[in-house]
Amino acid sequence: MTEAALASPPLWPDASPFLSCEHLVAGYTEDINILRDISVKVWPGRVSCVVGPNGTGKSTLLKAMFGFLKPNSGTVRMGEKEITGSAPYRMLGLGVAYLPQRPSLFPYLSVESNLKLGLWHTKPKKAVIAAKLDDVYRRFPVIHEKRGQQAGQLSGGQQRQVEIARSLMADPSVYLIDEPTAGVDPQTSGTIYEIVESLARDLGKAVLLVDQDIRAALAITDYVYVVKTGSIFSEGAREDFGTDTDALVARWLYASGE
């Protein structure tokens, strides 16, 4: 994707999304639905953010879109292709990466071994792996410095960077990211948000972000979904809420009933 295309996507947000779900209904038991008719879109070169109080279905939404949870109704599409209920192991091949809230590294393997696992589904040649590693190390100097260490020895923020770098090895088109700075110190959190933003701005990825740190997330967000009890309570482009984040925070608090 060219820099010009990233600077002014056609007719955004009416342009076709990379990933979308429509009227999604899903839950962990047959008789209780956590998601109740949710529709969201994720555009190339843009960050969409889902905010709302705990227990309203934000993480469940990502799991249902990625295939960890089969929807009871509704659709998930990648472009024009319906992928509803696709198995998680197939999603990366479709161009969708998922970064869960909890750490997903193999702690006793080296950082570099964890990175190589980002290509497990393609069985690439050594030259391809080496080129991918070089690119990742160029983007993440701290990971290059730590590449021989066990992943479990890194700080929480460094582990999060390794997770993002590992996903980049496969060059996905879409990122589903759940609470990227959970358990990360405030100083490192700023770095993580910069990296998430660069996925969209610099690499043209479509990013769907779930976050509790509303003000930090809004600083990098283009389109906002406020969720209340499994449904979309409010949505709109970031500019719709003005330059003061208090307007959106107020909506979040109203949605939570606080």
Residue 2: which CATH number? 3.40.50.300
3-class secondary structure, 235: strand
Measured between alpha carbons, how far is 58 from 24 in angstroms, rounded to an integer? Answer: 12
Please return the burial class of 245, using the count of CB atoms within 10 Å of its CB with bins 0-12, 13-18 and 19+. Answer: middle
Which pLDDT does position 5 carry in this prediction? Answer: 39
Residue 139 maps to a domain: no
Percent of the chain with pLDDT over 90: 57
| φ, ψ (nearest 5 deg) of residue 71 | -65, 150
Token digits for 40? 């969201």
Note down the domain range covering 31: 1-95+206-258
Kindly state whether residue 221 falls inside one of the protein's structural domains. Answer: yes
> What's the pLDDT score for residue 50?
93
Say whether the peptide bond before residue 100 is cis (omega within 30 degrees of 0): no
In a domain, 241, yes or no: yes
Percent of the chain with pLDDT over 70: 88
Residue 127 in any domain: the answer is no
Residue identified by tokens 């208090």 is: 246
- The pLDDT value recorded for residue 192 is 92
Instruction: Specify the number of domains making up the chain.
Output: 1
Measured distance CA(182)–CA(104) in Å, rounded: 13
Task: Give a yes or no: residue 35 inside a domain.
Answer: yes
* pLDDT at site 7: 44
Is there a domain that residue 36 lies in? yes
Residue 64: what pLDDT? 95
pLDDT in tens, 205-228: 999 999 888 888 888 999 999 888
215 closest CA partner among 184, 181, 185, 165: 181
What pLDDT score was predicted for residue 247?
Answer: 63
What's the confidence (pLDDT) of residue 8? 45
Q: First vs last Cα of the chain: how many Å apart?
A: 43
Ranges of the chain whose pLDDT falls below 50:
1-10, 258
Question: Do residues 132 and 119 touch, judged by C-beta distance below 8 A?
Answer: yes
Concatenating the DSSP letter of every residue in 164-194 gives HHHHHTT--SEEEEE-TTTT--HHHHHHHHH
Instruction: Determine, yes or no, domain membership for 182.
Output: no
The length of the chain, given as a count of residues: 258
Q: What pLDDT does residue 218 have? A: 86
| Spatial distance between the Cα atoms of 68 and 89, rounded to a whole number of angstroms | 10
Q: Identify whether 144 is part of a domain.
A: no
Strand order in the sheet with 231-237: 96-99, 174-178, 206-210, 47-51, 223-228, 231-237
